Amino acid sequence: MGDIISTGGNASVREAREARAKEHTMEPGPTGWKVDKVFAGKIRSYDKWYRGARSGIDKEEIKGEVEVNELGILQDQQARTSHGGPGRALLHFAHEHYVRIEEIYKKNGAEIDFPRLVAPGFGENISTSCGMNERTVCIGDEFELGSAIIRVTQPRAPCFHLNHRFSCNDRKHLLSSTVEVHCMAGWLYAVVKPGKFKEGDEFVLKKRPLPHIPVAYAHQMVSKQEFPEEDVKLMAECTLLDPKWRKYPRNDIKNRQNRRRYLRINAHLVAISEKKTKNLVGSFIAIRL
């Protein structure tokens, strides 16, 4: 998948934002996107995993209606607080990604447990195969699903459990890193209105307040890609992003401020050194990478 980050001056950043908004503008109403399958799971211990990890990633399909409240599907469990909560109540993963992941690993000749590359291998609660993905869904999107209303809060940040689950031990081709770089990790919902939904239900768009922030754009921040500072500040202040996710742009802003301070200090040391016609001990020229 291509990069959707635009660099340059403020004008080009605004133009890129407007272009994204235009590309992702959708009128409220039926989307044609429908749920293929619904999954939930219980917490289990995995002795073969790192330090006998406990996880709720192993899920089973649920037929018929499921009830959701602010913490997600009633039958579903998460072993870690970072994997659940009101802002991370439901995990959605596009089934098309499994095909793409298999292609990537076969091309690289890397080892992975190929038979597991089917839903719900990534621990998703909702599986679709209708073109609904990180490029077509935006942060803040609010959908009516059955009698429930859910809102997109953040991209999924893949953790080490995926590497263990898929027997992916090659550090050059870790699954968690691969899906992060290619923006194929899924996304999370908050439950705005508790209710029930089932396989076959359609996602009816109620609101799209941030058409300029598709899930993939927010996800690329975790991939350590250089973002226009104007957009970083925008996401750091975006209340529709889950608070835990906003730490990434906030840390980015702090790092930029520290970098500029570092450059000023060392530029000053170099200037002093030149005036004295000899180098001060410990002074050096800083190069911005």
pLDDT of residue 46: 73
Q: Which of 49-63, 104-118, 124-138 has the lowest mean pLDDT?
A: 49-63
Maximum mean pLDDT: which of 22-31, 186-195, 255-264, 266-275: 186-195
Residue type, 262: Y
**Overall average pLDDT of the 67-92 stretch:** 90
Mean pLDDT, range 28-34, rounded to an integer: 95
The strand ranges marked E within 62-109 are 66-69, 72-73, 90-94
pLDDT (0 to 100) of residue 105: 96
pLDDT at residue 287, rounded to an integer:
47
Residue 224 pLDDT exceeds 70? no
Question: Is the per-residue pLDDT at 20 higher than 60?
Answer: yes
pLDDT, average across residues 259-282:
61
- The one-letter code for the residue type at 270 is V
Count CA atoms within 13 Å of residue 191 on its CB side.
23
Q: Is the pLDDT of residue 129 over 50?
A: yes
Helix (H, G, I), strand (E, B) or coil at 244: coil
Asked if the model's pLDDT at residue 14 lies above 90, the reply is no
Cβ atoms of 267 and 286 closer than 8 Å: yes
Mean pLDDT value across residues 86-91:
94
Classify residue 71 by burial, with Cβ atoms within 10 Å: 0-12, 13-18, 19+: middle
Greater pLDDT, 221 or 132: 132
Residue 250, pLDDT > 60, answer: yes
Question: Which of the given ranges, 44-58, 108-122, 268-282, has the highest pLDDT on average?
Answer: 108-122
pLDDT bucket at 289, cuts 50 / 70 / 90: very low
How much is the pLDDT for 1?
43
Count other C-beta atoms under 10 Å from residue 220's C-beta. 21
pLDDT at 227: 74
According to DSSP H, which parts of the chain are helical? Answer: 10-23, 96-108, 161-165, 175-181, 215-219, 229-236, 247-275
SS3 175: helix
Percent of the chain with pLDDT over 90: 52
pLDDT attached to residue 2? 44
Asked if residue 9 has pLDDT above 60, the reply is no
pLDDT for res 275: 60
